[in-house]
Amino acid sequence: MKKKIVVATTNEGKLREFRQMLEPEGYQVLSLADLDHPAEIEENGTTFQENAVLKAQSVTDQFQIPAIADDSGLCIACLHNEPGVHSARWLGHDTPYDIKNQKVLELVKDAEDRSCYYACAIAWCAPGKEPKVFYDTWNGEIAREPRGTNGFGYDPIIYIPSMGKTAAELTKDEKNAVSHRGKALRKLEDWLSEQK
């Protein structure tokens, strides 16, 4: 009997990454789309950690089921770590990422410091329990131009010097091994296996 866990997202890219990592551990991974009329969750936290807890706790409170939620984003040094917690909503929630990525490239085109990092906080909530949060980062640079078709979001413009590729040029296994979400999720997995 697989244990059910809800990932509080409708983002197919995120959901795919969670499924790739959690299903081999024996979890049946559900998304918000699998729930009956989940309430709209307002992400009004000021940190990735706060937003992750808001999302997971909302699902747990509403459906009395364990839930995990991640809040992640891109922090660019020369833009004062923007778009940060607003990464998904930056320039508008429905704006395609190729437009967002072009805007980033324009904003940093003359910057000497093109360093950036992805951040990811994953919150775990369950009925009657204190939330747990797992956090990690992934360092890179803003590329000169978009490259690659894997991944999602800002991945085509995030160059990983140690790998000589953008995040969107990595295979899913390469990405999961080193990414902010992969590292935070492994912390969650280690913690979950300790709870068994």
What are the catalytic residues?
A: 71
Q: Find out whether 31 and 10 touch, Cβ atoms under 8 Å.
A: yes
Q: Among 188, 79, 37, 176, which Cα is nearest to 125's?
A: 188
Three-class secondary structure of residue 116 per DSSP: strand
3-state helix, strand, coil in the chain (%, to 5): 40, 25, 35
Q: E strands along 39-164, which residues?
A: 67-76, 82-83, 115-125, 132-142, 158-160
DSSP structural state of residue 144: S
